[in-house]
Amino acid sequence: MSKKVVIIGAHAAGVDAASACRKKDRTAEITLITKEPNAGYSRCGLPFVIGGQIPSFDDLIVFSPAYYKMLKLNLKKETQVIKIDKQNKSINSIDKNGATERLDYDKLIICTGASPFLPRIKGYEKKGIMSLRTLEDGRQIDQVVKRGTKTALIMGAGLIGLETGIGLQERGLKVTVVEMLPQILPAMLDLDMAKIVKEMLEQKRLLIFTEKRVEEILGEEKATGVIAGGEQINAEMLISAFGVRANTKLAADAGIALGETRAIKTNLRMETNVNDVFAAGDCAEVPNLITHKPSCSQLGTIAVRQGKVAGTNAGGGYALFEGVLASAVTKLFDTEVGSTGLTVNAAKRIKIETVSGTISSKTRADYFPGAKPIKIKIVVEKESHRIIGAQIIGGEEVTQRINALSFAIQKHMTVRELAKADTAYAPPLCETWEPVVLAAEVALRKLR
């Protein structure tokens, strides 16, 4: 009798889980369930459709209907799972027409993702507060822009907030960003690096206010502005970019354990505390590779890797997910920004003493046309001399340097070893001295 595998959620983690499961078990009955009308699309691309770099929201749909047919996956769209019955190993769902269904499972993978978080500040219930999480959200924002909206207010200066703000500005809107913390991109950068990015964005006429907490949302029925830091800021469009929270209610109601981060607790095989139930993606808690403490880093790269591990194990294979560094990159106008591992601030919060090395250089030989500036910061644990983090801002070639430093952290490389790295050189491609090596030398001098 064929094994029955049910996957709740059909995006990054869910589709990769289904694919990995199929590779291990050619005969399993695999069912994917999503409450959205579209499955398997890239959420990360949404701001770039709004900005016009990607022509259509439909271009973000990664997997065509033929893909699901080829892998013999039963995809149920616009269907919501309303209950997990762990005793009887079944789930109950309801579709858009109100029809209910019970599905039995041998293995269950929970990939319920995360949802935008709007703090319960005064006026939070007003209409017109938008967020950018789904294709439908993107299309709604696009329609508002096409109706002639001139001003937008972004509440939150994380990755999505800034990318969305830039996208709207590129469509001709006047954009204001408010952030309660003293800096932008607080999860990625330290204050010194964040200041460089903020200055660049302000030079591009993006208006950014830091240390301004949103205290009230103004308007009668529809939101028309905010009070932030005691100041009134009006806008025709308000976008909530406070962040997202893991969707865990379905799991918690079924008695599946949550962890310290309030996401679903998993082991290295992405198994929950309930037999034959796995979790993956933005709803799952996993260890940080440096601190070994629980974390919930909600990035697409992490979701697909977790999905692959969960699907492999559900399909009868054996795979481990050992943890995350939360490596991330973005492009803000013409500037690339990347980070991996811990910032100095994050290390300080958990009482890790650090030394950092920062260097400004060029991406090509200084005399070669088109050379662009690049700034690299490497964070080193003072006691062990191990590299534990890096931040890079540059005109080009940021991603592969972040990837290389991610490898270095995962291999427990010391700053002395990095300073001796054998690197390549050619005038049109890089400087004689690799900037990453120079940053390591700066940190090494401080340690001496």
Annotated catalytic residues are 44
Task: Provide the CA 315 distance to its chain's centre, in angstroms.
Answer: 27
Whether the CB-CB separation of 40 and 61 falls below 8 Å is answered with yes
DSSP 206: -
Whether the CB-CB separation of 180 and 226 falls below 8 Å is answered with no
Whether the CB-CB separation of 341 and 389 falls below 8 Å is answered with yes
The angle formed by the CA atoms of residues 342, 240 and 96, to the nearest 5 degrees, is 110
Whether the CB-CB separation of 78 and 57 falls below 8 Å is answered with no
Can you tell me which residue has the tokens 């991109």? 185
Can you tell me which residue has the tokens 């962040």? 243
3-state secondary structure of 171: coil
Which residues, 6 or more positions from 409, have their beta carbon under 8 angstroms from its beta carbon?
Answer: 289, 290, 325, 340, 341, 386, 387, 388, 389, 390
Task: Provide the CA 369 distance to its chain's centre, in angstroms.
Answer: 35
Give the sheet arrangement for strand 335-341, strand by strand: 328-332, 335-341, 387-394, 373-381, 354-362
Please, where are the H alpha helices in 215-261?
249-253
β-bridge mates for residue 155, sequence order = 178, 240
Token digits of residue 416: 């002395």
Q: Write the single-letter amino acid at 269.
A: R
Token digits of residue 166: 């830039």
First to last CA, the chain: 66
Please, where are the H alpha helices in 384-434?
398-410, 415-419
- Residue 315: phi and psi, rounded to 5, are -85, 5
Considering Cα of 111, then 116, then 117, then 122, what sign does the dihedral take? negative
Closest CA to 266 of 302, 308, 306: 306
